[in-house]
Amino acid sequence: MEKKTKAQKTGDFGEEVAASLMRKKGFSIVERNYRSRYGEIDIIASDEQYIIFVEVKTRSTGAFGTPSLWVDKSKQKKITKTAFIYLESNQSDLQPRFDVVEVICDNITGAVVHTEHIENAFDVSAD
């Protein structure tokens, strides 16, 4: 079993926090860490209307900028391609949506100091 880096452990922690937040908001977690040749989707969730592809960004209080700034056009393209592959294999009548969950932890203690769920954070672009 390979050891995880600090960044991987931080990312895993942030995904746990985000999944818990999504459940508290009434969403069902359909799948976690779905991978395709294009990339990975951290969380796939759903409610009665949407199938939600969630990118989780976890940063410490000392990090530059808000975590969602790191979900640039290139990352969005990888997420949407991966979502389309998921939907090809898992038919759904639900409307797809792309969300971002930011998790900010204290630089020293590691405690969560802020979470934000950004619904419909980006759209599928024709680029």
Buried b (16+ CB within 10 A) or exposed e, 110-119: eeeeebebbe
- Please list the helix, strand and coil fractions of the chain in percent, rounded to the nearest 5, in that order: 30, 35, 35
Please report, rounded to a whole number, the percentage of residues in the chain having pLDDT higher than 90.
65
Nearest-angstrom CA–CA distance, 95 and 43? 16
DSSP letter, residue 123? -
Tell me the pLDDT tens digit for each residue of 32-73.
Answer: 999 999 999 999 999 999 999 999 998 877 666 676 777 889
Residue ranges of domains in the chain: 6-118
Task: Count CB atoms within 10 A of the CB of residue 122.
Answer: 20
Nearest-angstrom CA–CA distance, 41 and 30? 12
Q: Is the pLDDT of residue 30 over 60?
A: yes
> Does residue 53 contact residue 44 with C-beta atoms inside 8 Å?
yes
Quick one: which H or E segment has residue 82? helix 73-89
Nearest-angstrom CA–CA distance, 15 and 99? 13
Supply the pLDDT for residue 4: 79
CATH architecture of 6-118: 3-Layer(aba) Sandwich (3.40)
